[in-house]
Structure 1
Amino acid sequence: MELYGYDVLDRFIASLATDELDRTLEAYFIAERNRAARSGADINRAWRTTRDFILETLQDLSHTSNDKAKLHELSSHIKRWELRYRNLSPNPIPKRIHVLRALPARVIEELYTLFKPDSPDNPFRSEPQRWRNMAILLCLLHQGLRRSEALLLAADAVKTGTDERTLKPRYWMNVQNQFEDEDPRYCDPPSIKNSQSIRQIPLSREVAEYIDAYATNYRGRSPHPQLFLNNRGAPLGVRGLGRIFDRVSTLLSDDAKQALQENLRRPRISAHDFRHTCAVIRLAHFRAHGNDEDDSLAQLRAFFGWTYTSNMPRLYARAYWERQIETVWNDDFDAHVDALRTIEPGGWKECLS
């Protein structure tokens, strides 16, 4: 309007003045973007409405034009504008920082204290809640399960057999969805992400025994076959799981919250933070046992259920090299805990030569 007057759009659209419309749209976009930067107002909707109105009106008019040359020119302009303005926004959303790093050691220490069933600092009331929540923590932190995968575990998730090579007991769990047709969780039901996510992963003896003890002694009777239940005996849902970590996050010390912020995180724990931590620990474990990077990343794909084309293992490899963990775990439960405690908050460490 400032360039050509208040009736500018009507005149340019009626006369199919493509060059003037091009300059007008560009000037309008720049003006709106500057206004958004100054005021912080969300003007995406106004921009989309203006852009779509002009393009759709021109498309309708192009079908009524008898001038083939003008019709071809107009069609070319419309295609060019669509390509130019498709992904532009006067309110560009800041890119979210994806933090693929292990949780700081101090945070891990406090979480173990808050989740341990017999801890005086445990905020959960009943014994079943305490044992259930600790079992959830082990599934997320030690097994690297996605929250949906943990919520889909069956009550008999822990399997046992004999290792044919060592003749010693071995433990594992099958990650799959057995409850698609009978799952009563209608609000945000968990699901398996992809076909590669259906997998079998090993368990340490301590983790296996803890989960089995919870399932046998504290889970209680329920008509539902899922491992983790809420207080009403129904399968625990995504929101219920989130409330567990919300509550624990409020009890972290100021030092732990500061450590999270220094780690480029919010002062709140999410279920996926444990998967990040487990991935970095696992990669360190594979590397320490002499596996080269390609073999280690292939093992990560199998363990964490990533597709063959996923770039996630490479991102975790970067996290591993950014924060070199000096002590790594093996399949022993205590060794894993000790490895988690070696993660130092903040700073860089020299990469291995």
Structure 2
Amino acid sequence: MIVLTDLHGSPAPHYHPNLYAVSEYRQVGRSAHTIEKVLRAIGMAKSWAEMRGRDLDQDLTAGSFLDGSDALDLVRFLSLNAADQHVERESAKPESKVVSFAARRNKEDQSDTPYGAVPTAEVGNRIRWVANYIEWHRGRRFDGRDLAEAETQLNASAHNLVSNLKGKAPGNHSRWHDDELLEAPDPDVLQHIDEILTPGSSTNPFRSEFVQWRNYLAWRLLFDTGARRSEVTTAATDSVIGAKNRFQIRESKTIARTVPIIKKTADVFDHFFMTYWLNMPSGCEAHRTGALFTDKAGSPLTSGKFLNRIFLTVRPMLGSQPWQLTPHTMRRAWNHILSLKLDRLPKDQRFSAEKEAQMRIRLMGWSENSRQPARYNRRHIRESADRIAQEMMDEINPNGVLSEESRNDQ
């Protein structure tokens, strides 16, 4: 369970932010990952208020909320990266001699190349999350009761503040063309990676047999299922059901699920489990907890960094590519392969866009209101349209040779 505590390490949780997270996010099934990001944004807003000698929750529950200048300054602070926020907090302390590096650069440089800039989409999310938190406070304080004149004015002011904040949140304009952002390796590249990582391969960059089989098993699970990095990292030995060719994803930032794997992957698991996992040191942590991915001594690899190392090591072996190979790339690759599979189905067996979206939701572990399936459907439509257009032109000029009339036009 994610909770917001004091910036200075106090174990006491902040009451209102955590009540908000439980009632508005946790109880409606939102993921721990989302709750953490929302609470981080609220924590930034509370830190901003603290620098000015104020208590944000006190202002929202019994004070005068925030004014227009507060909103502008809060938006500016939420737009800073963690390092610059820290510098600003330190410089706000009495008799501090700390000066922000960004403050010492001339304004022209700042406008062109902001140092450590936070992505626009992230800034927009932070501002909207804080605005929603303020709106929650406003509703609890004023809705459903008769208000005095002063309270009515304050309620209207709070309404305007929330609208003002949301209006300053930059939009993610790439969402209209986000199918272009989902590029991933084609199946032939994935096959090349599989050949590189196959244990015993002359091109395998990892020398230890234990590491080769462990890494190959992790790769196969990503390849077969498109699971998230954390979903593979936290797998246990009983997560792989070899007899049924299934992989149980129990710990997920969204939805736990059981997904299919091929027999090859189940066989890789059996070999790794029987040959290496069972022969780890007696009494090791892996044997006590059942963790599947460990080091040679049986200590679980909980951070997922070992998966990152696999991809960082293989990436240079592939040469220049239009995408960056990462564990998350495999989710895109899986969806791309699904699109290719659906295109090969006879017309009478193809799925509607709605059923295709439901299929992606089920296997990817997305929530029902996720926009990701629609994004992949848009990419699928784009690819199909491009392919049909290319085939159409090839049929007109099958050898790629311009007609006599076209040459004359040139």
Q: TM-score, normalised by structure 2?
A: 0.50
Larger helix percent? 2
1:217 aligns with 2:217: no
1:37 matched residue in structure 2: 111
Residue 287 of structure 1, CA deviation = 4.9
Which letter maps to 2:217?
A
Residue 286 of structure 1, CA deviation = 4.1
1:297 aligns with 2:336: no
Contact preservation (8 Å) 2:221, 2:261: no
Whole-angstrom distance in 1 between the partners of 2:250 and 2:371: 22
Map of 1:229-244 to 2, 5 A cutoff? 229-237=294-302, 238-244=304-310
1:274 matched residue in structure 2: 330
Contact preservation (8 Å) 1:283, 1:300: no
Give SS of 1:200's match. strand
Aligned with 2:261 (options 196, 203, 221): 203
* Pair 1:95–1:313, CA change in 2 (3 A): closer
Contact preservation (8 Å) 1:173, 1:201: yes
Which letter maps to 1:273?
T
Aligned with 2:189 (options 107, 115, 121): 107
1:180 matched residue in structure 2: none
1:84 matched residue in structure 2: 164
Which letter maps to 1:291?
R
Give SS of 1:133's match. helix
Contact preservation (8 Å) 2:250, 2:256: yes
1:174 aligns with 2:248: yes
Higher RCO structure (Cα 8 Å, ≥6 apart): 1
Which letter maps to 1:205?
K
Contact preservation (8 Å) 2:228, 2:327: yes
Q: TM-score, normalised by structure 1?
A: 0.57
2:239 matched residue in structure 1: 157
1:99-135 Cα deviation digits (max 9, x unpaired): 2233135632431232111211111121111111111
Give SS of 1:174's match. strand
Contact preservation (8 Å) 2:187, 2:337: no
Which letter maps to 2:387?
K
Contact preservation (8 Å) 1:153, 1:228: yes
Whole-angstrom distance in 2 between the partners of 1:43 and 1:272: 23
Residue 139 of structure 1, CA deviation = 0.6
Give SS of 1:110's match. helix
Contact preservation (8 Å) 1:36, 1:43: no
Residue 140 of structure 1, CA deviation = 0.5
Residue 225 of structure 1, CA deviation = 0.6
Give SS of 2:200's match. coil
Whole-angstrom distance in 1 between the partners of 2:363 and 2:222: 13
* Pair 1:349–1:80, CA change in 2 (3 A): same
Give SS of 2:388's match. coil
* Pair 1:42–1:253, CA change in 2 (3 A): closer
Which letter maps to 1:315?
R
Give SS of 1:173's match. strand
1:146 matched residue in structure 2: 228
1:17 matched residue in structure 2: none
Contact preservation (8 Å) 1:155, 1:227: yes
Whole-angstrom distance in 2 between the partners of 1:42 and 1:99: 22
1:252 matched residue in structure 2: 317
Contact preservation (8 Å) 1:283, 1:297: no
Paired positions, count? 247
Whole-angstrom distance in 2 between the partners of 1:128 and 1:253: 24
